[in-house]
Structure 1
Amino acid sequence: MTVLYVKQKNRKPIRICLSKECLRSAANLALSMNTKAHPCEDFYQYTCGNWAKEHPRPDIFQSYDWFRDKQTKVYATVRDFLNRNTSDLPRPVKQAKDLYTACMDTETLDKRGLKPILKVLESLGLPAYPTYINVTEDTDYSTYSFDWLEVVINIKIQLGMDVLIGFDIFTDPKNSSIYKLVMGSPETTNPFPSMRHEKKRHIGQRNLVTNKIERYKNDNINVEDTKNVKNFDNEEKKEDDEKIAHVSKLYYAELIKLFVLEDAPKDSNLSELQLDQNIFLAANDYHNFNDDMYELEVNNDTSSEDDEYLDVPEYTVYEIQEHTDMIVKDNNGTASPIWKRYLEGVFNISNVKLDFKNDKILISDPDLVYMALMAAYLSKVSPVLIELYVWIKVVEVMAAHTTTELRILFQRSYEALGNHDLYTPPRSQQCASAVNEMLGMAVSYAIADPRFFYITKPKIEVMLSEMKNALAHLVGQAKWMDDDTKLATYQKIIQMKTLVGFPDWLLDAEKLEKYYEGIEVNTKTHLENLINIIQAKIKKALNKFRIGNNGSWATDPTEVNAYHTFQENTITVPLVMLQHPFFDLGLDSLNYGSLGTVLGHEITHGFDNFGRLFDKNGNLLPWWSNDTINSFVNKTQCFIDQYSSYYVPEIDQHVDGKKTLGENIADNGGVREALAALREHLRKNGPEPKLPGFEHLNSEQLFFLSFGNLWCGVSTKEILKADLTDEHSPQQFRARGALQNNADFAKIWNCPPGSPMNPSNKCIIF
């Protein structure tokens, strides 16, 4: 008994973390878990089996997870702030509040009616309603002229919107220190803020090359665009196409009619029936025109083979025109000068004067084909039909930001197509989201905590440094890389920049005002406010063309996401990702299992099947040896086969292992790097306390539990189908795949060889 007494007296008590962060994390984990599931059979079910029960999916969402939950709370925080007094804050913050006030004032929006849009149409060179309608029956279509190019230029410089022609300024793929002109098919088809809750994908930010593949879709304002995301089953395609066509034609007919009734002469000779017939004929012809343009883009879209992006051609404007003229004439059209005039018109609002002999334009081969065929198509189409097409494209993106009648019309059309996943939130959250999208840095100023610089940021920087060291160590162990490639990889890791939280200048009021210089906001003119902000951003973007690229933030600090910008070799981690449920979880093991794996994912993106194309300076240049590339490609086949075997029974489909390859590699590398970083962190700082209720688990088990919990969520069948068209695997497979390939996971959780979570064949690159 004396011996037992001495042993008990000398035994150190178990340290348990009882902070509010630990208690919250413990409760979240416990409530999400299904402990009846075995971790070695299905770890996702073990960690997330009860998540849907404890986090019921609101009817307004088709999918719900931690990322969606956090973004919704961010918008609510922004909304609450914008409802408070901001008179003592910097001018941009007060302007953010004024923008919110104007957005919320639906009474004024309804009172102003269509007048704001009519005013914009006039400034663009467009009529109040399409000439095609022929309300007065005195339009001679054979003599009617419409300078579509001049109007398209006006649309770009006034609305920042691409119609028929896509144009932007991007970092030069082969020299990341300078900018290049880029042209092709339309990219920014809706420059206005989204008025819907859209799920933010956890995805690395790519460059102009992948932007040409992943077309920018902001608000899905065009009901025609539903053809891009629906029709998952071939046997239903024809029926769905007919439904989409019918609903879209009705929508455009109603949209046109509102403007005709607003501004048409009262002494029209047309009966109401004749007017309706003319309007529906216009809607039908627009639909066909839009289909033709869509086919031009899709048929000439860029292939997704990464290696093909090593050489993006560049041309002078004269070479592009010469090629265009040849194609137009081959198609029996009449050639006309387009491209030099377009660029001159766009840059006319800037301080930059182009040198057309030396300023080359980057255009992918498919985009060059599109541009020439588009010009050939327009050369043979009646001007009045081109005007109709341009008119509708412009009006529909502005409509959502005006009257209740137009918003209801748009919403009704979407519901008729069964697009209930495009949730329209309460007006207050719509407006908060819009302000956040248009003036994100000003909003961030308001919610940023100055203590971040000396409390949170140092912790994240330590974590990032440990993650990079972990990757360097894993690279050193890789037998498939030769020494020269390893050395280049170490150099890229060392030079990889990180942007954490928010810009250092953000809390400097003077610099914030400089950032938003030229912006004016009025509490009574919502649409004009948005246009004014867009115009200021367009002018700023054009003026930077001659200025060297010094790097920039890939997103606003209020976005629940993280980015790897390949052309700047930079990781961006927004402020809201450094909060619960991704960070500040009480224990380092939980933080590294959640945020740490996200950071590792982004770091690994620099060396996945796409990231390997960019060197340490972010230039699109070969820097891997041929032998290393061949070995890498051979090893990726394992991932393709593994993820392609994952079956989604709810929709009777498999994951596309090839399409999701880059993200799967990043997920796998992120977990391995984060675990190695945690081990190094605990070695330096000593063991951490136990988590209450989880005293039986060690830090490494908690790490994996936190990682699994990161991907908890619930989705409808429709969203599962959509997820399988994305470059990310569905969430349950993001958790399962990375752990099945991890020998440390199997050892730590005592999973016997051959068990589902410990297969004999493991896919490993880093």
Structure 2
Amino acid sequence: MPDPVKPNKAESQVTLASSRSTSEDTPSGGWWVSRTRLEVALLAMVAVSLFLLIAVCLAMAAVIAGSSPNSLFAGQTASASGICLTKGCVTSASELIENMDPQMDPCEDFFEYACGNYLKTKNIPDEKSSISQFSDVSDVLQEKLRTLVESEDSSEDTPSSLMVKQLYKSCMNTERIAEQGLQPLKDILREMGGWPAVEGFAWDRNRFDWVQNVYINRRLGYSVDLLFDFSITTNIKNSSWRIIDIDQPSLGMPSREYLLRGLNDSDVRAYLDYQVSLAALLGANRTAAELELTESLLFEIQLANFSLPKEQRRNATKLYNKMTVAELQGRVPNIPWLSYINTILSPFTTVTEREEVIVNVPSYIENLGKLLLRTDKRVIANYMMWRLSAASISYLSEDARDLQLVYSKKITGTGKRKPRWKECMGAVSGSLSYAVGKLYAEKFFKKDAKAAADEMVSYIRAEFDKILRTVDWMDDETRIRAINKSLAITPHIAYPEELLDETKLTELYKDLQISDGELLSNMRNLTIFGTDYSFKRLREKVDKNDWKKHGAAAVVNAFYSPLENSIQFPAGILQGTFFNADRPKYLNYGAIGFVIGHEITHGFDDMGRQFDYKGDLKEWWKPETRAKFIDKSKCIIYQYGNYTEPEVGLKLNGVNTQGENIADNGGIKEAYYAYNQYVSDHGEENPLPALGLTAKQLFWLSAANVWCGKYRPETLKLRILTGAHSPARFRVNGPLSNLPEFSRDWNCKSSSKMNPSHKCSVW
């Protein structure tokens, strides 16, 4: 379950990376030159040797390299002058060499050049669906947190740290979980009136009413969003206040597109088998359960059919359908909207028929109302009880979790569960992110990273402002508004100081009950706590600088919030391959600088541009400039939509990924310009040893290295079908092939793949 007090749907942010984390081309010339086997062996030696020993060897080898034109050290002087040989530089060189394939031509496939050896030598662990630089850094972070959470209780523990330890202990108490078995779920289902597929003829249809069932879900700590999504969100046309938001729900499979394939699809059959197997485990007759759950699955497929696809959810204005509760009642009369809303919001708020709500997809709600009228109670009950049961499985005994694993393997390719401590650390980090963030910030965060990130943000923002001032397709009025929006962006770096104030955390969590006993009970308490926290804020004015919006410090990701017009870089991402104070700036600008530019550009992608400098949904673009932006975006859509992922043979969805692709293209450009300005202000930096690359080439290599990663085929398909981010290779090759600066720095011929004649550019 996610952190109960993180921003909800309409307050959510655009993320840098998905929460989920090669063929060789013939060299075409340019910078690339042939490498000998000896040189490849030397590369491997550099990658695995002790760092301090490498530094000594590099200095000595530079003398020898002076007479060898093909040496790794070509371009270095006999004394190695002009080469950075600090520990940080040697370590960085080793890490880059370990990942790259120097036999690839960077002008033909820069991703393979930068990450080819990573792809060849790194194996995806059985318990993972993918690996990446993001997951590698996250793994290190989780290991650090583990040392704190598993430490003995002491007088130094605070109430928030003790709560973290209690939740972790309840998750690690597998003996207690096994002893309870499925009984916690059986007790909950009994209170709900029973699961028809399990109860059989004993199920009492007179006890079931879907509205009452939702009320019980709310009371017991389960989602109320099974048939439609109900939330309290920031009003996107007046972002200083909140409003009730009604939308289509998330469904049981990764996306509506899976369900729309129908019952003959192997993934859908696996989903049905998952349901039937769980019902059988709870005591159902398998044959009878399959018949019943097929009907409820067909019901869910109809919900999917009513839902809008992601491609049609990118225009925020079309989703902003405001009406009163009375008007909604008139459109969907068989749902008791007023009593429903008041019961769900109880005891915090009461509304009248004059209350305004946002209905994102009116057609979905109208079709749902008609579907409920013609659907048997038993079918609806089976669907709702299945979804409740599925939400519980992660916190139950192994027999239920084994069923979950079988289904997960079919969808993601993951054939093994993570070690228990990793599962539990993930659950705790996601559920108590502020308490965990405080632990991380106090014990592990290096303060110099914040100052360095502040400086980089200033440089990169300045370059984006220059771009806004010079693009030739904007009219002056829109340009001024765009510059004002850019200047109004609020950065949140590392963590807010309030996070370290234990008094504030104690106050935040005062109503949350956590014990080291039953895990499922703890997770339900977290849901109740989070739902209460959200619902009671309906009448409160939005504080866009509320520290809780930016307090999840132990996260390896970055964010842009259109409703705040803010960028956030948590402490967790200011480390590892992304940032290191003890290495040249070109590496940091290529890595975390790319990230910073990416998030800034999100404010001006196809969705972010719909919001003004205050974070309100408003049309502030002149029609002619808007048309030019759309035309330039179409170039990006077409470019990425024509990429085919070679491993699975699927084309990317250029529409769904356009926002992230625009941000990638703008972000790397801004970071590059910012680094050049830094050099202009502070002077040239020495390049790394062993690579024979210039500082500018190392900037590009560092940027690509951030995206080194590989996926299981099933996960790669899932990412392409449902994700907002392009797969890693296209996050490298796509933006870099659009930038003349890249081709210039690598001397790429006009005929090379990384230097196409037709290039796309939005910002």
Using the TM superposition, give the Cα deviation of residue 727 of structure 1 relative to its aligned residue in structure 2, in angstroms.
2.7
**Most deviating of 582-591 and 644-653:** 644-653
Decide whether the 8 Å contact of 2:258 with 2:268 is kept in 1.
no
Q: How does 1:565-580 map to 2 (within 5 A)?
A: 565-580=561-576
How many angstroms apart in 2 are the aligned matches of 1:717 and 1:413?
15
Cα distance per residue 1:11-68 (max 9 Å; x no partner)? 9973544444322211111111221222222222221121123433323334221112
The verdict on how the C-alpha distance between 1:422 and 1:663 changes in structure 2, with shifts beyond 3 A counting, is farther
Supply the AA of the counterpart residue of 1:80: T
The verdict on how the C-alpha distance between 1:536 and 1:401 changes in structure 2, with shifts beyond 3 A counting, is same
- The alignment covers a number of residue pairs equal to 679
Q: How does 1:619-634 map to 2 (within 5 A)?
A: 619-634=616-631
| Residue in 1 that maps onto 2:162 | 94
Q: TM-score, normalised by structure 2?
A: 0.83
Decide whether the 8 Å contact of 2:256 with 2:304 is kept in 1.
no
| Residue in 2 that maps onto 1:318 | 326
Decide whether the 8 Å contact of 1:251 with 1:410 is kept in 2.
no
What is the RMSD of the two structures over their aligned residues, measured on CA atoms? 2.8
Moved over 4 A (4+): 131-135, 137-141, 226-232, 450-454
Q: Give yes or no for the alignment of 1:300 onto 2:366.
A: no
| Residue in 2 that maps onto 1:698 | 694
The verdict on how the C-alpha distance between 1:443 and 1:713 changes in structure 2, with shifts beyond 3 A counting, is same
Q: Give yes or no for the alignment of 1:126 onto 2:188.
A: no
Taking only the aligned residue pairs, the percentage that are identical comes to 28
Which runs of 5 or more residues in structure 1 are unaligned?
A: 1-10, 190-221, 258-274, 326-334
Cα distance per residue 1:409-465 (max 9 Å; x no partner)? 3324545x4653375201111111000111111111112147958522121111111
Supply the AA of the counterpart residue of 1:570: S
How many angstroms apart in 2 are the aligned matches of 1:476 and 1:438?
43
How many angstroms apart in 2 are the aligned matches of 1:387 and 1:237?
20
How many angstroms apart in 2 are the aligned matches of 1:237 and 1:380?
21
| Residue in 2 that maps onto 1:182 | 245
Using the TM superposition, give the Cα deviation of residue 598 of structure 1 relative to its aligned residue in structure 2, in angstroms.
1.0
How many angstroms apart in 1 are the aligned matches of 2:426 and 2:210?
33
Cα distance per residue 1:633-662 (max 9 Å; x no partner)? 222232233223323333333333333222
| Residue in 1 that maps onto 2:388 | 394
| Residue in 1 that maps onto 2:274 | 248
| Residue in 1 that maps onto 2:337 | 339
Q: 1:752 aligns with which of 749, 753, 757?
A: 749
| Residue in 1 that maps onto 2:25 | none
Decide whether the 8 Å contact of 1:249 with 1:284 is kept in 2.
no
Using the TM superposition, give the Cα deviation of residue 293 of structure 1 relative to its aligned residue in structure 2, in angstroms.
3.0
Supply the AA of the counterpart residue of 1:536: F
Supply the AA of the counterpart residue of 1:286: L
Supply the AA of the counterpart residue of 2:81: I
Q: Give yes or no for the alignment of 1:55 onto 2:122.
A: yes
| Residue in 1 that maps onto 2:91 | 24
How many angstroms apart in 1 are the aligned matches of 2:126 and 2:734?
30
Supply the AA of the counterpart residue of 1:289: S
Using the TM superposition, give the Cα deviation of residue 520 of structure 1 relative to its aligned residue in structure 2, in angstroms.
1.8
Q: 1:550 aligns with which of 543, 553, 575?
A: 543
Decide whether the 8 Å contact of 2:107 with 2:755 is kept in 1.
yes
Q: 1:720 aligns with which of 716, 720, 726?
A: 716
Decide whether the 8 Å contact of 2:278 with 2:400 is kept in 1.
no
Supply the AA of the counterpart residue of 1:479: D
SS at 1:765's partner residue? coil
Supply the AA of the counterpart residue of 2:142: Y
Supply the AA of the counterpart residue of 2:123: P
How many angstroms apart in 1 are the aligned matches of 2:641 and 2:462?
32
The verdict on how the C-alpha distance between 1:562 and 1:671 changes in structure 2, with shifts beyond 3 A counting, is same
SS at 1:455's partner residue? helix
**Most deviating of 471-480 and 581-590:** 581-590
The verdict on how the C-alpha distance between 1:386 and 1:77 changes in structure 2, with shifts beyond 3 A counting, is same
How many angstroms apart in 2 are the aligned matches of 1:146 and 1:501?
49
**Most deviating of 502-511 and 283-292:** 283-292
Supply the AA of the counterpart residue of 2:392: M
Decide whether the 8 Å contact of 1:467 with 1:673 is kept in 2.
yes
Which runs of 5 or more residues in structure 2 are unaligned?
A: 1-77
The verdict on how the C-alpha distance between 1:749 and 1:449 changes in structure 2, with shifts beyond 3 A counting, is farther
How many angstroms apart in 2 are the aligned matches of 1:419 and 1:48?
23
Using the TM superposition, give the Cα deviation of residue 306 of structure 1 relative to its aligned residue in structure 2, in angstroms.
6.3
How many angstroms apart in 2 are the aligned matches of 1:412 and 1:718?
13
The verdict on how the C-alpha distance between 1:471 and 1:119 changes in structure 2, with shifts beyond 3 A counting, is same
How many angstroms apart in 2 are the aligned matches of 1:404 and 1:48?
38
Using the TM superposition, give the Cα deviation of residue 303 of structure 1 relative to its aligned residue in structure 2, in angstroms.
5.9
Q: How does 1:445-524 map to 2 (within 5 A)?
A: 445-449=438-442, 454-524=447-517
Q: Give yes or no for the alignment of 1:561 onto 2:557.
A: yes
How many angstroms apart in 2 are the aligned matches of 1:374 and 1:638?
37
Q: TM-score, normalised by structure 1?
A: 0.83
How many angstroms apart in 2 are the aligned matches of 1:237 and 1:14?
68
Supply the AA of the counterpart residue of 2:357: I
Q: Give yes or no for the alignment of 1:378 onto 2:444.
A: no
Q: Give yes or no for the alignment of 1:527 onto 2:527.
A: no
Cα distance per residue 1:143-189 (max 9 Å; x no partner)? x24232122022134325022232001111111111110013334x7
Q: How does 1:399-478 map to 2 (within 5 A)?
A: 399-415=393-409, 417=410, 419-421=412-414, 424-449=417-442, 454-478=447-471
Cα distance per residue 1:59-113 (max 9 Å; x no partner)? 3334221112222332332223211124312201111001101111111112223
SS at 2:240's partner residue? strand
Cα distance per residue 1:684-724 (max 9 Å; x no partner)? 22222332324x43321111110111111223333332332
| Residue in 2 that maps onto 1:586 | 583
Decide whether the 8 Å contact of 1:117 with 1:395 is kept in 2.
yes
Q: How does 1:549-698 map to 2 (within 5 A)?
A: 549-551=542-544, 552=546, 553=549, 556-584=552-580, 586-694=583-691, 696-698=692-694
Using the TM superposition, give the Cα deviation of residue 572 of structure 1 relative to its aligned residue in structure 2, in angstroms.
1.3
Using the TM superposition, give the Cα deviation of residue 676 of structure 1 relative to its aligned residue in structure 2, in angstroms.
1.0
Cα distance per residue 1:524-577 (max 9 Å; x no partner)? 121111111221111111121111111252672222211111111111111111
Cα distance per residue 1:500-539 (max 9 Å; x no partner)? 1122211111112122221121111211111112211111
SS at 1:315's partner residue? strand
Q: 2:103 aligns with which of 10, 23, 36?
A: 36
Cα distance per residue 1:716-749 (max 9 Å; x no partner)? 3333323322332221111111111111111111
The verdict on how the C-alpha distance between 1:16 and 1:406 changes in structure 2, with shifts beyond 3 A counting, is same
Using the TM superposition, give the Cα deviation of residue 390 of structure 1 relative to its aligned residue in structure 2, in angstroms.
2.5
How many angstroms apart in 1 are the aligned matches of 2:199 and 2:186?
18
**Most deviating of 308-317 and 643-652:** 643-652
Decide whether the 8 Å contact of 1:106 with 1:404 is kept in 2.
no
Decide whether the 8 Å contact of 1:226 with 1:244 is kept in 2.
no
Decide whether the 8 Å contact of 1:306 with 1:609 is kept in 2.
no
SS at 2:458's partner residue? helix
